[in-house]
Amino acid sequence: MRDSREQHIVVGISDSRASLTALHWAAAEARLRGASLHVVRAWDSVRHAAPYAAVGQLPTGDEQEAEVRAGLAADMQAEFGPATPGGVTTELAEGAPERILVAQSARADLLVLGVTAPPWLADRSEGPVVRACLAHAGCPVVIVGSADETQAPASRERAIAAIG
């Protein structure tokens, strides 16, 4: 007997080409399954402040949040255009991304993450977020790789310019 409830896919995104690839893959998978899609952009302000950086050069928490919010909006516009389709929700969450995504996975049928250089291609181990999600997620995890670039593509930069 098949469970009739709608499936729920969570995709974690960041400021990388791989996360846009993951968002694209997750959106296509959600359409294929008739599932809802929840796009999570987690950011940890503590991780971005290098201890040797001059205090005057550090962005404020509000500035960091505004930048992350604009990036999320640009990623959504790059993937879906000006209107986000029904069944797709977004969340901007401050805190350790691995904790936030593992918590989200408890209510998901699938968790999708992007990696810039997949460990199986780049001969290196995955990062702490991927490692934590693989070890502790409450659902299957799909890792989508993009080994070509570490920065977001030009379409995202144009979307940020249009929003900002």
- Write the DSSP assignment of the chain as a string of letters: ----SPPEEEEEE-SSHHHHHHHHHHHHHHHHHT-EEEEEEEE-HHHH--TTS-GGGSPPHHHHHHHHHHHHHHHHHHHHTTSPPTTEEEEEEES-HHHHHHHHHTT-SEEEEEESS-HHHHTS---HHHHHHHHH-SS-EEEEE--S-SSPPHHHHHHHHHH-
Regarding pTM above 0.75, the answer is yes
Say yes or no to pLDDT of 128 above 80.
yes
pLDDT tens figures, 21-61 = 999 999 999 999 999 999 999 988 775 556 666 666 667 77
Say yes or no to pLDDT of 123 above 70.
no
Nearest CA among 15, 18, 16, 11 for reference residue 119: 18
Give percent of the chain with pLDDT exceeding 90. 58
What confidence score (pLDDT) does residue 132 get?
A: 93
Question: So what CATH class is 8-163?
Answer: alpha beta
Taking the C-alpha atoms of residue 117 and residue 68, their distance in angstroms, rounded to an integer, is 22
Measured between alpha carbons, how far is residue 9 from residues 36, 99, 139 in Å? 6, 17, 10
What confidence score (pLDDT) does residue 97 get?
A: 94
In terms of C-beta density within 10 A (0-12 exposed, 13-18 middle, 19 or more buried), how is residue 118 classed? Answer: middle
Give the residue extent of every domain in the chain.
Answer: 8-163
- The two most distant CA atoms of the chain are separated, in Å, by 61
